[in-house]
Amino acid sequence: MVKSIASYIDHTLLKPDAAEKDIIELCDQALQYGFAAVCINPVHVKLAFERVKNTPVKLAVVVGFPLGANLPQVKALEARLAVERGAEEIDMVADIGAIKEGSFTRVEKDIIETVQAAHPAEVKVIVETALLSETQKEKVCRIVMDSGAAYIKTSTGFVSGGGAVLEDIVLLKSIGKDNIKIKASGGIRTLAFARKLLDAGASRLGTSAGISIVEEENREFS
């Protein structure tokens, strides 16, 4: 049986003005539609945990979001506190500036500290592919693989013109093979594009348009 597109989607709300009622609605939608996870800011982790605990919907929390420019110790603390409050997955933003300037020892330290602090939660490392060269993407993908993180993630969705690009998924899959999972995120608004990303090698999709994508799929079978 073919899995529903919903089972690949992290139902996401990371807007700065998201209120408690919005988080409650997000969680209830995730339960209704069968999304893989909800992805939220750390301030809402306790509230979201109470809504989705003991259900198949996972709780993903962002760390160092959206710039990735926090000190590694701060990201690690943020991750640990989120996990203590119920987070099962951590979506951390890597040190993008360090990637750009080739300070890969710093990049590695940044990621490893969060991965260790978040244990046993899975960590998705956001590398902001829209800002990187192909060589930088290749290098950081290998660092993420070696760090113990579960996923490499394309984007925060907060960079102008950035987002999931099919060619990036193909590149990351060619490097990571089956040694790292890929989360495509940013600008995913249609069922057709979501399917292309999955076919290219993504195993999770981050989007705030999950409901419309699932409803588009449902119309195919109605």
The length of the chain in residues reads 222
Could you give the 3-state DSSP secondary structure of residue 50?
helix
Whether 181 is a known active-site residue: answer no
Could you give the 3-state DSSP secondary structure of residue 153?
strand
Retrieve residue 180's tokens.
Answer: 């790292």
Compute the distance between CA of residue 190 and CA of residue 219 in angstroms, rounded to an integer. Answer: 13
Q: Which of 10, 58, 75, 91 is catalytic?
A: 91
Compute the distance between CA of residue 161 and CA of residue 159 in angstroms, rounded to an integer. Answer: 6
First to last CA, the chain: 17
Question: Among 26, 28, 32, which residue's Cα sits nearest to residue 11?
Answer: 26
Q: Which of 153, 168, 173, 181 is catalytic?
A: 153
Whether 153 is a known active-site residue: answer yes
Sequence-distant (6+) residues with CB within 8 A of 193 are 164
Whether 183 is a known active-site residue: answer yes
Rounded to 10 degrees, what is the CA torsion of 112, 117, 119, 124? Answer: -50
The neighbouring-strand residues paired with 1 are: none
Residues carrying an active site annotation: 91, 153, 183
